[in-house]
Amino acid sequence: MIAARNDFDVVVIGSGPAGQNAALEAAERGARVLIVEQEPQVGGACVQYGTIPSKTLRETALTLTAFQRRSGDVYKITRDAELSISSLMKRLNEVVHAHQETTRRFLEQANVERAYGRAAFVSPHTIAISNVKGVRSLVTAENIIIATGSRPRNPPNVAVDHENVLDSDSILSMTYLPRSIIILGGGVIACEYASTFASLGVKVTLLDKAPMPLGFLDPELVDYFVMRLKANGGEFRGNSEIESVDWDGISSVRATLKTGEVIKADKAFVALGRVANLETLAVEKAGLAVSDRGLLIVNDFCQTNVSHIYAAGDTIGPPALASSSMEQGRRAACHALSGKMHAGLGSLPAGIYTIPEIATVGLTEHQAIRTVGNPMVSRVHFDQIARAHIMASTSGLLKLVADERGDKILGVQIAGDGATELVHLGQMAIIGRMSVDTFANATFNFPTMAEAYRIAALEIIHKRDWKAGSADADGRNASRLQPGSNV
């Protein structure tokens, strides 16, 4: 509830990852903060349609496939043709409730006030909040942070009906698992659902106009994803431009390519990007600039063209991951209250919850080449790790990227089971400015997946020593050939 006094230091619109962290950062700095959310509970769209539901379904798929694999195929898992989506997500309400309660408790402990309703600008410093009963109240704020998230972008040539052709808001409303599904897009959401459905025995066809999916990742990790998707019975088809997608009125969804080819499946899922939720905010009354893609334009501080209004998360566009949204929320609140950049530790990780997972932190090999010229890179395949054999998860890769001398750690890329957890060890090493030798000299629990870091570090040290030895040898040979030397 809004207190009697209606002026605030900071008003945050939206309570997803960006909004939560903006509010907590502002409160920690002593500000009087109000967070406005149009849903009854905090957490944003990720609680109802995004991160929580999709990862709950993924975890069930992962458990089912891992159980048979780790039992050495002693136990066989067969899929019921009439298996319902809801039966695979019986824990969803429990997971959602736990997340919402944790978020609510953090906000209460920080004395962040909450308002339930839809926000809209009245002026650059004034927000109107309308509740479900139509009651309208006004609040003013010195600073405003917009974190209203996004919704699916459905192009006009794709007939989304939320029954046969679905988007990310309706994909989990399917009653039963389909036998086959066409997935449009090559981004994070498309790839996560593609691998989940393939692991559940659905015939997946992933279509995208780009030659490869997940174009922002290290190409080796992308190749790994495509290989695992194929191994699970899925298919990626790049360079596929869509003419139209519709329901044939009888039994199938049709995806017609611009080449004239028609691909059919039981269902289709559209994951062709997101649109920022700005349409009810009346941003024009605040004088905010919006890009031609419908995103709020911000600078490095997440500050809009109106100096006291900030934006974070999906409202400002890619990468639109929870980790980046959290950092953007903190950055916005910090600059709003101090005029300085948030003293973040940098090196934000990115986690892609495909099956198996993909994670990255710091520089990729290609980025390091552009930055330092000739980085030292080591690769450890999971079949080199005892723990991976015990877990029957030997398909995977960890890449360690170091500077030219093989000393400073620049980045880590991982593909395989547990990648999104394992990457944090690399993140801490980068933040702590640890050398490659730290991993080589550390004693790890045995057997663990973390041993991959030690193996990778030893490989870089071997390359470093070989390079140094070659340089010494070249130096000795050169000295022998100097004028006056005895050859």
480 pLDDT above the threshold of 50: no
Query: Are residue 47 and residue 120 in the same domain, yes or no?
Result: yes
User: Do residues 302 and 312 make contact, with C-beta atoms less than 8 angstroms apart?
Assistant: yes
Count of domains observed in the chain = 3
The pLDDT, as a whole number, for residue 51 is: 77
Domain final position from 251, 270, 289? 270
Note whether residue 54 is domain-resident.
yes
Helix residue spans in 202-321 (DSSP H): 219-231
The Cα 80–Cα 177 span in angstroms is 9
Query: Are residue 60 and residue 140 in the same domain, yes or no?
Result: yes
Query: Are residue 182 and residue 109 in the same domain, yes or no?
Result: no
Query: Are residue 302 and residue 393 in the same domain, yes or no?
Result: no
The pLDDT, as a whole number, for residue 403 is: 96
Q: Which structural domain range is residue 365 located in?
A: 356-477
Query: Are residue 46 and residue 175 in the same domain, yes or no?
Result: no
410 pLDDT above the threshold of 80: yes
Both tokens of residue 267?
């269902």
Query: Are residue 321 and residue 417 in the same domain, yes or no?
Result: no
Average pLDDT over residues 48-67: 80
Note whether residue 351 is domain-resident.
no
According to DSSP, residue 267 is labeled: E
311 pLDDT above the threshold of 70: yes
Residues 6+ apart with CB under 8 A from 15: 23, 35, 37, 39, 42, 43, 44, 103, 114, 147
Query: Are residue 245 and residue 280 in the same domain, yes or no?
Result: no
Reported pTM: 0.88
Note whether residue 1 is domain-resident.
no
Query: Are residue 88 and residue 30 in the same domain, yes or no?
Result: yes
Residue 483 pLDDT level (bands cut at 50, 70, 90) = very low
The Cα 236–Cα 140 span in angstroms is 50
Dump pLDDT digits (tens) for 349-376: 999 999 989 999 999 999 999 999 999 9
| CATH number where 409 lies | 3.30.390.30
Burial class (CB in 10 A: 0-12, 13-18, 19+), 395: middle
The pLDDT, as a whole number, for residue 176 is: 87
Domain final position from 270, 289, 307? 270
CA distances (Å), origin 136, targets 89, 144, 446: 37, 19, 61
Residue 478 pLDDT level (bands cut at 50, 70, 90) = very low
Amino acid at 85: I
Note whether residue 344 is domain-resident.
no
Torsion angle defined by CA atoms of residues 89, 92, 95 and 101, in that order, rounded to the nearest 10 degrees = 180
Where is pLDDT greater, at 377 or 90? 377
| CATH number where 170 lies | 3.50.50.60
Query: Are residue 49 and residue 132 in the same domain, yes or no?
Result: yes
Note whether residue 345 is domain-resident.
no
Average pLDDT over residues 337-350: 81
Note whether residue 450 is domain-resident.
yes
According to DSSP, residue 155 is labeled: -
Query: Are residue 13 and residue 125 in the same domain, yes or no?
Result: yes
User: Do residues 434 and 409 make contact, with C-beta atoms less than 8 angstroms apart?
Assistant: yes
- Please name the helix (run of DSSP H) or strand (run of DSSP E) that holds residue 53, with its range, or none: helix 51-70
Dump pLDDT digits (tens) for 84-131: 677 777 777 788 888 888 989 999 999 999 999 999 999 999 999 998
Closest CA to 195 of 393, 61, 351: 61
Note whether residue 26 is domain-resident.
yes
Average pLDDT over residues 289-315: 96
According to DSSP, residue 125 is labeled: T
Query: Are residue 144 and residue 126 in the same domain, yes or no?
Result: yes
Average pLDDT over residues 382-390: 95
Note whether residue 483 is domain-resident.
no
In degrees, rounded to 5, the angle at the alpha carbon of residue 61 between the alpha carbons of residues 89 and 242 is: 95
Query: Are residue 187 and residue 38 in the same domain, yes or no?
Result: no
Closest CA to 459 of 378, 385, 400, 397: 378
Domain final position from 285, 306, 338? 338
